[in-house]
Amino acid sequence: MIEETTLNLPRRSNRTRKITLSIALLVAALFLFLAVKDVDWKIMLTTIQGARYEYIALVALIFSVNLFFRSLRWRILLSAEKPVPVLTVFWANNAGYFGNNFLPARAGELVRAAAVGEAAGIGASYALAAALTERIMDAIILVLISLSAIFTLHNLPDMLVAATRTMAVGGLLGLVGIIMAPRLEKQITWVVEKTPVPARFKTAVNSLLSRFLLGMRSLQNPQRLFGFLAFSAVIWTIDAFCCTLVANAFNFTIPFPIAFIILSALGLSSAIPSTPGYLGVYQIVTVAVMTPFGYRPSDALVYIISWQALSYILITLWGGLGVWQLKLWDRLFPRSSAA
């Protein structure tokens, strides 16, 4: 049945899309201003002029391989429903990243769920549940990685240590929640039903809850959980290595522990709806994280602008191919002019 295998993307009027985009751009502009207000532009220009672009080329190759690994990791969750072709997941996953780069509020998550749900016939609701579970697990893993990295460093700002410890507690609680929640579905549903809120709200909460639990159940299998965690370790280690390479390209050094902390901050900042392509968000987060370690704001901006530009180019390439392969263009950018 079509209702079970498709997930319609939100249809908005041109006016609504323009308002949403305008707000997102204003937020991006504000964050960019805060990120660049203390930058020495002469130092930044000198750093860019001395770049070694062979490192950037190597990062581009490794980044593309890592996109494939990310698809294999998501496939572990999707295949709990039924076997899904590797290339189908690869194209759908990259189409979703493409959507996140050009659409606000992380609409790419809906894109990749809809795409793989239809192409593989597994049901878009389950694909969305798997996507949500992947994001939750990523946030937990990043928090725990950040905590581990903090323990290897010395003379850190007290605020950074306190924030990381607080997030670590949240991450551990989240991990326990993912393990226990599917076993407590009846009790959780009972609590929602007893809550004194309108019935429409209860229905929406129960619908969202059922999707979360559906995805979480895919990790109840120990072999599947081990595979997911193993791929996560490989993916984030590769990303940290790329982080160090980008820094080397501009003649400064980012040690692995600091690279993991930067990636954790960026990953957590991207876990919530934000501006298209996280414009402004990534810049202010990177400056805020790197400067306490003694890096100049100009170095932080050179790093994140280069990383983000490279990501944009590669995701536009691979994601654009995914959109073309799965015939998603009209759904991503509808031509409807309804008011």
Mean pLDDT in residue range 317-336: 81
Whether 110 has a pLDDT exceeding 80, the answer reads yes
Nearest C-alpha neighbor of 279 from the set 96, 100, 56, 112: 100
Mean pLDDT in residue range 42-69: 92
Whether 23 has a pLDDT exceeding 90, the answer reads no
Instruction: Tell me which DSSP letter residue 196 carries.
Output: S
Confidence grade of residue 5 (pLDDT, cut at 50, 70, 90): very low
Are the CB atoms for 156 and 176 separated by under 8 Å? no
Whether 136 has a pLDDT exceeding 70, the answer reads yes
What pLDDT shows up at residue 228? 94
47: CB partners within 8 A, 6+ apart: 250, 251, 252, 298, 299, 302
Mean pLDDT in residue range 150-163: 71
Give the separation between CA 264 and CA 63, rounded to whole angstroms.
17
Q: Could you report the per-residue pLDDT of 281-308, keeping only the tens digit for each?
A: 888 889 888 988 889 989 999 999 999 8
What pLDDT shows up at residue 29? 76
What pLDDT shows up at residue 4? 43
Residue type, 105: A
Mean pLDDT of the chain: 82
Tally: H helices and E strands in the chain: 15, 0
Mean pLDDT in residue range 206-228: 80
Give the separation between CA 328 and CA 94, rounded to whole angstroms.
12
Give the separation between CA 272 and CA 60, rounded to whole angstroms.
26
| In the chain, where the domains are located | 20-332
Are the CB atoms for 95 and 119 separated by under 8 Å? no
